[in-house]
Structure 1
Amino acid sequence: MTAFAQGTGLIEVRPVSWDDTAAVALRRAMTEEMDARYADMLAVIGLVPEGMNVEPETVAYTGVAYAEGDAVGHVALRALGDDVELKRMFVAPSHRGTRVARALLAAAEDAARALGASRVVLQTGPRQPDAVRMYGREGYTRIPVFPPYERLPGSLCFEKLL
């Protein structure tokens, strides 16, 4: 577990299994939000292209953030050779802007280092400007779109060397 100060409270990021109840609920909330946010784009491409879904056996780390006992954020890492890919980063709307995302990101980077990864890569979309700004603030730099995300219009990819 990793703890981070948040105003007067504490954010705890706990490593959990992929099928942890809180992790599953947070990923479901993320899917609902992203499906609504990108509905028109998803209608054009149809089913999510192969390689974009996360298969449990590829997950190297899953973390859930807790604030005052409530599960408020999720992050996972997927192994990609010597790298890891940040997946399913999500903060509940009620806790956005409260440093939960930074805590999740720091915990994921610590886990990536422990796994021996040389860098963290990620993909996000054009309708998530807050995420794009946060990644930039945390030292991530834009890189060319990597597979399989070239099949998603507007994909934005980033890396951070560890």
Structure 2
Amino acid sequence: MSTQETAPAATPVAWDHPAVQELCTEQQAELRGRYDDDGGAEPNLPAEEMLVTLLVHVDGQPVATGSLRDASTYGTGSGEIKRMYVRAPYRGRGLSRLVLTALEAAATARGMRRLILETGVLQPEAIGLYRSAGYTPIPRYGPYVHEADSLCFERALLTVP
């Protein structure tokens, strides 16, 4: 990185930001290719459920995103990680961990004590990220209960008294 470049940052944006929606469309297309299906259990997410959406730019290009959703229906103080995605040419640079860490911080700032998420058996990169970040397997929940290819995880968040 030259002295003029800045380190990527995860910037809060609206869920319906055009770059976020473009990245989410790419993510869903990639998942359809991996799983040979029509979009999974939750192809469309309501904007009003997204508490925080982050966007990462590299050299002025939007390359990564992720969102935090209210998941209190799965337990008081719960949030859910949604639509984590990094464009293929930018993978392996720590951008997914950057987004995940920022979403965890946002959840903690909102008083959440637990994060849950769903990924799939054909996404070893995501599984590795979540396991290395301290997420542990849980039974499939909500719309994923009957999705055989789904893997669900949770992580307790440290709360500041």
2:123 is matched with which residue: 108, 123, 128? 128
Match of 2:34 in 1: 37
Match of 1:76, SS?
A: strand
Cα RMSD (Å) of the superposition? 1.6
Code of the aligned partner of 1:76 = S
Unaligned 5+ runs, structure 1: 1-7
**TM superposition shift of 1:52:** 6.1
> Structure 1 length as normaliser, TM-score?
0.86
**Cα–Cα, structure 1 residues 125 and 48, in superposed 2: closer, same or farther, change >3 Å?**
closer
2:47 is matched with which residue: 56, 66, 71? 56
Match of 1:146 in 2: 141
Q: Which structure has more strand as a fraction of its residues?
A: 1
CA distance in structure 2 between the partners assigned to 1:125 and 1:32 by the alignment: 14
**TM superposition shift of 1:29:** 0.8
Q: Number of matched residues?
A: 149
Q: Deviations over 1:76-99 (max 9, x none)?
A: 111011211000000000111110
Determine if the alignment matches structure 1 residue 65 to structure 2 residue 62: no
**Cα–Cα, structure 1 residues 69 and 124, in superposed 2: closer, same or farther, change >3 Å?**
same
Unaligned 5+ runs, structure 2: none
**TM superposition shift of 1:70:** 1.5
CA distance in structure 1 between the partners assigned to 2:44 and 2:62 by the alignment: 23
Match of 1:117 in 2: 112
CA distance in structure 1 between the partners assigned to 2:102 and 2:23 by the alignment: 17
Higher relative contact order (CA 8 A, sep 6+): 1
**Conserved? CA contact 1:10–1:68, under 8 Å:** no
Determine if the alignment matches structure 1 residue 13 to structure 2 residue 48: no
> Structure 2 length as normaliser, TM-score?
0.86
Following TM superposition, the consecutive aligned residue runs of length 4 or more in structure 1 with deviations greater than 4 angstroms are none
Code of the aligned partner of 2:148 = P
**TM superposition shift of 1:122:** 0.2
1:76 is matched with which residue: 55, 67, 89? 67
CA distance in structure 2 between the partners assigned to 1:127 and 1:89 by the alignment: 15
Give identity over the alignment, percent.
35
